[in-house]
Structure 1
């Protein structure tokens, strides 16, 4: 039965956008460290893939890779789906309630109405315009790292959308070592999509592959703001080994289990 191997692609989005490069801004992890993977937590991960073959030399089992991209310095991926939209709706409802209270307030009571109106407008935040030409996030408001709406005139750090893997190519694909594709999934943490690949473990060796990763940069033009896509690349490696199929209980060749 194929073994599921996970590769976490953690991107420091803010620094990557500033440097216009994923070099030194990407941290890769997998679940094969105890099986020989090297350079865990760096941008130079070499994932160990252990294959096996039967006594006649045929491939005994293939492996399956899953790539999961995450953002460093953003809202955690475990928050409910639609969290940003819900927070935007809550601020809109609060602004409408404050505006209604301001309209119904008797004349001459409280501070200057224009100052209160300006405060309400500030607390509404900035809504990001939807851009249908790319795979960026849906329209919502800008949130900070704690999940609160960022006021329109604030300079506070904002949360970036999660990175999106848009392609996997390179030597490992050209040599038909891996067969990557994007799949739909009910897993809401990955927003319903993830990249996966089967691995041909019958050809031992070290093979490079490249991931095309799309980040999103906040661009403000006048009173509008939108997430502008920025496409960058990141390279990684697979080291495939192969050995005879063994009995998991005895460590020897396949056969009957010893009986006392």
Structure 2
């Protein structure tokens, strides 16, 4: 069975959009630190892959890679799926309640409907327009900050949508070391899609590959708020080593697990019963245990 290996791609989206690069703004992790991976928590991760082979030299097992992109400084992806919609509905309900209060006291002396309506607009927040390129989870949602509150000012800090891997290419793919593809998944954290690859672990060496990652920047265009996609790239490497297939418990070759010899337990002496001089007719006859003298057989007539 193929071995599963996860690679976390953590992106500081705010700094990446400001500098227009993922260099210095990406932090990579995998679960092979104790097996030789280097550069954990940096943008220079080298993922260790142990290729195993049988005694005849044939490949014993494959390696399966799974890339999981996450955003640094955004709303955690583990919140309920309807979290953003719930927050947007709550802000709408609050804005409607305040609008009813303004309507009820319209015409009253000292009332300033203009300032009150401006406050209601801030409470309602900004809703992002749906475009052909931002359908799905980004469709029609309001802009929230990292605490889950609706953003009321254009200059306020806001939570970015999670990064999306759109392609994996480079030396490792060109030389057919790994075969990446996007797969469907019931996991809602990844929006139902994730990137995975099968690695040919029978070819030791270091191989580079590149991920194309799509970020989204909030822009104002024609009086509307839009998520504008920004495509950047991030590089990483695979380090494939080769070793014989071995037992994971003992570190030795394949075979039976060794069982430690058990110490001899002292036996409790059993009371002996006197044996009858002659066997009873029809009673079964059993051979005596080794070490006891046996009676000579009686010849038949």
- The two structures have a TM-score, normalised by structure 1, of 0.94
Greater length-normalized contact order (CA 8 Å, ≥ 6 residues apart):
1
Q: 1:81-125 deviations in whole A, cap 9, x for unaligned?
A: 132222112211211122122222374267422222221112111
What are the equivalent positions in structure 2 for 1:38-187 lying under 5 Å apart? 38-105=38-105, 107-108=107-108, 111-133=111-133, 137-151=138-152, 153-187=153-187
Deviation, 1:75, is 0.8
Q: 1:163-215 deviations in whole A, cap 9, x for unaligned?
A: 00000000101111111111111111112111011111011111000000000
CA contact (8 A) 2:94 2:123 kept: no
Name the stretch that deviates more: 80-89 or 102-111: 102-111
Alpha-carbon spacing, 1:91–1:237, altered in 2? closer, same or farther (3 Å): same
Alpha-carbon spacing, 1:135–1:24, altered in 2? closer, same or farther (3 Å): farther
SS of 1:201's equivalent in the other structure is: coil
Aligned length: 259
RMSD, aligned α-carbons: 1.6
SS of 2:149's equivalent in the other structure is: coil
Mapped to 2, the partners of 1:135 and 1:46 lie a distance apart of 35
CA contact (8 A) 2:47 2:239 kept: yes
Select the structure that is richer in strand.
1
- The two structures have a TM-score, normalised by structure 2, of 0.82
Name the stretch that deviates more: 162-171 or 112-121: 112-121
Mapped to 2, the partners of 1:258 and 1:143 lie a distance apart of 59
Segments of 5+ residues of structure 1 without an aligned counterpart are none
User: Are 2:214 and 1:218 equivalent residues in the alignment?
Assistant: no
Max Rg structure:
2
